[in-house]
């Protein structure tokens, strides 16, 4: 007789196991969803890298004029230096504008904290 009783499924135990499995499946689904959300966010240092890259481009653009003048000095004497100065001037302006825009894009997520520094 005890063997038959073990083979019969107890409805209370079955209901408790089913509830536990439902809770565990919900928990695993929630954890997996949070992991996917966290994995899809960009790293926090990406903004600061963009600011540093923009600052470097802005500072380095000041050396574009002499670099281009020296690079173009091998051509005909007055034309190579003048062409180098014009080319370097355009690269300086472009580097400054692009560097400033990169710094602004990198600093934009932190603009909401500016209220605390006023």
pTM over 0.85: no
Domain tally, the chain: 2
Residue with tokens 């603009």: 111
User: What is the tens place of the pLDDT at every residue in 57-111?
Assistant: 999 998 999 999 998 888 877 888 899 999 999 999 999 999 999 998 888 877 7
Q: What is the DSSP string of 7-20?
A: HSPPHHHHHHHHHH
**Boundaries of domain holding 80:** 45-108
Assess whether 53 and 93 both reside in one domain.
yes
Whether 70 is in a domain gets the answer yes
In a domain, 7, yes or no: yes
> How far is the C-alpha of 59 from the C-alpha of 79, rounded, in Å?
27
């Amino acid at each position: 007789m005890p063997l038959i009783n073990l083979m019969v499924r107890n409805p209370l135990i079955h209901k408790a196991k089913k509830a536990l499995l439902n809770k565990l499946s919900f928990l695993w689904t929630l954890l997996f969803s949070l992991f996917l959300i966290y994995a899809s966010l960009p790293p926090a240092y990406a903004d600061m890298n963009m600011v540093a890259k923009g600052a470097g481009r802005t500072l380095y653009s000041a050396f574009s004029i002499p670099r281009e003048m020296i690079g173009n000095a091998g051509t005909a004497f007055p034309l190579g230096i003048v062409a180098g100065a014009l080319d370097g001037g355009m690269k300086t302006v472009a580097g400054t504008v692009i560097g400033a825009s990169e710094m602004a894009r990198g600093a934009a997520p932190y603009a909401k904290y500016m209220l605390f520094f006023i």
